[in-house]
């Protein structure tokens, strides 16, 4: 199978992360009088509108679990031993992360986010284990 098929979800997730960055940057710049106030992001807690804080939190989340996805997916692409199920799982992970972002940015129900997070880890684990037993 073509490696491009497996790498496309990686690129889409990277572009989604960039999109969240733009929303976060817009919200922060619009909400603060002095950009120097953001020298330490911990100082922004409580000073920004809730949606801006949730966007910042989500941006950070996109550098946590997805890092494992990037490593596993790029490793599988390098090994070049995968089938359409792995590609579908990679897309499923990306879709779950986008849904996770949308949940966090809107109604922010933690249980829904946790379920999406847990399913994401199951996908990553399956992708990694499939290479170990292949």
Q: What is the spatial distance between Cα 116 and Cα 123, in angstroms, rounded to a whole number? A: 11
Average confidence score pLDDT of the chain:
94
CATH architecture of 3-132: Up-down Bundle (1.20)
Q: Which sequence spans correspond to the domains of the chain?
A: 3-132
Entry pTM: 0.94
pLDDT of residue 32: 86
Continuous segment of H or E residues that includes residue 108: none
**What sign for the dihedral angle of Cα 103, 46, 27, 91?**
negative
Q: State pLDDT tens for residues 51-62.
A: 999 999 999 999
Residues 6+ apart with CB under 8 A from 14: none
The SS3 of residue 127 is helix
Instruction: Give the integer Cα–Cα distance in Å for 111 and 109.
Output: 6
User: Quick one: tokens of 67?
Assistant: 């890092």
Q: What is the pLDDT of residues 75-132, one digit of tens each?
A: 999 999 999 999 999 999 999 999 999 999 999 999 999 999 999 999 999 999 999 9
């Amino acid at each position: 199978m073509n490696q491009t098929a497996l790498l496309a979800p990686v690129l889409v997730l990277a572009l989604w992360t960039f999109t969240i960055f733009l929303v976060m940057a817009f919200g922060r710049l619009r909400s603060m009088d002095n950009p120097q106030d953001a020298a330490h992001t911990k100082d922004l807690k409580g000073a920004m509108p809730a949606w801006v804080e949730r966007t910042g939190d989500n941006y950070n989340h996109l550098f946590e679990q997805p890092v494992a996805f990037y490593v596993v997916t790029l490793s599988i692409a390098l090994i070049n031993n995968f089938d359409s199920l792995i590609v579908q799982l990679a897309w499923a992970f990306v879709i779950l992360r986008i849904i996770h972002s949308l949940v966090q940015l809107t109604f922010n129900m933690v249980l829904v986010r946790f379920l999406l997070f847990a399913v994401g880890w199951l996908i990553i684990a399956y992708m990694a284990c499939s290479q170990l037993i292949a």
